[in-house]
Amino acid sequence: MFQLKSGTTTFDFGIDGSVQQAGVAAGTWTTNAKNQIILAPSGGGASATFPVDWLFNNNNQLQIISRGTPVFNFHSGAALPLYSNDKDILIVRPDSSAPFTFQLHGTWNFNPQNLLVLTLGSQVSTLDGFLQDSNSHFSYHFFDVANFATGNENVLSFPGDWKHSVVNGKSVLVLHYDTADGKGAEFTLPGTINLDPSVNEFVYSYDKGTDTFGLQFIGTLHIASDFTITYKLDDESSSSGTGATFSMDAQFIKKDFKGNLDLQLKSEANNGTTLTVGGSFTVVLGGNSLNAGFHFTQPNSGNAQAFGFNGEFKSFNGTDLRWAFEENGPSTTVSIDAENFKLGPFTGSERFTLTTDDGQVKAIKVLFGIQF
């Protein structure tokens, strides 16, 4: 319970929404769009307005401030407060076991330290929490830092639409989230997204102390022969019902065809983010030719793709094999290890052949474990 004055009259406000004056029921209270406390008298008549400020302290505890002085901490009693949101409106339930709630209207920001900031009037609160979600949603978790044992986890989730761009070889993600006034607002993730090669899904991750937090973006990955990457988010990720599509121009940067596929986002300084795709190098049929390629799967969705690279196989004299990329990049040619290919004389019946640099016609007998 907290006390506020209207003129010379002192009122006692309960966390259940009740108001008393000198021990007698005097009405109920709520908040308005200006975050003022409004007392509705029991017997009717004009309501009373109490201008106050609201601030979360360093322990994520909500306080009421009147005339510059804290007058109440919602975490000071036995009741456990609970916080949620409806778009950009904060919903406060002073007692998580009771039905009474009130609203606070403010502006939100996601700062460079991956912390959610709420401005209520002249008071700026930084909520000490973390991003964590496995379904492409902006979900921010925070606790009463001074009372972790109570386990009162609060989760604020902001529905909206993700927008992706590549700036200087770095992926930038902006959430256009819904607001109560219909105008919308934005959160920009301060870091960059990357591929998790264990599931081939994009993730946003960051370290805080000794822990790692972030968002997993559920979607369908596609890579073209020129290493253009597209990633279509599931429609459930968007409040509009249509998931965003990420598009990125990348280039091959490995020096061999072993293990996973490393691609670098293109940039003028040639220092873009390296994306690692989990899978295996293979051979892909392209009409009457063979192409070096890569095969990957996405276990969570069942999506799979095998795609060929732009270019051609070449050999100096029939004892070696290399892949020459069609477009210039950090890697223009890649040598194929001897255990991954077998060339032989062309007898006229072999389907796939190449002409060596010294003019011999050779048949491709085996490539990446596949016989022809």
pLDDT tens, position by position, 79-124: 899 999 999 999 999 999 999 999 999 999 999 999 999 999 999 9
| Residue type, position 363, single letter | A
Quote the tokens at residue 81: 């407060």
Query: What pLDDT was estimated at residue 287?
Result: 72
Helix (H) or strand (E) holding 139: strand 138-142
Query: What pLDDT was estimated at residue 131?
Result: 97
Nearest to 103 by CA among 184, 13, 35, 177: 35
353 falls within a domain: yes
In which residue ranges of the chain is pLDDT below 70? 328-331
312 falls within a domain: yes
Helix (H) or strand (E) holding 130: strand 129-133
- Phi, psi (5° rounding) for residue 149? -65, -25
Query: What pLDDT was estimated at residue 329?
Result: 58
266 falls within a domain: yes
Residues with Cβ within 8 Å of residue 134, at least 6 apart in sequence: 215, 216, 218
74 falls within a domain: no
**Cα separation values, 142 from 81, 83, 87, 128, 146, Å:** 12, 9, 17, 6, 12
Query: What pLDDT was estimated at residue 275?
Result: 97
Range of the domain at 299: 193-372
101 falls within a domain: no
58 falls within a domain: no
Cβ atoms of 21 and 11 within 8 Å: the answer is: yes
12 falls within a domain: no
8, with CB counted inside 10 A (0-12, 13-18, 19+), is exposed
Query: What pLDDT was estimated at residue 372?
Result: 86
Give how many domains the chain has, as a whole number.
1
226 falls within a domain: yes
Query: What pLDDT was estimated at residue 331?
Result: 59
pTM for the structure as a whole: 0.90
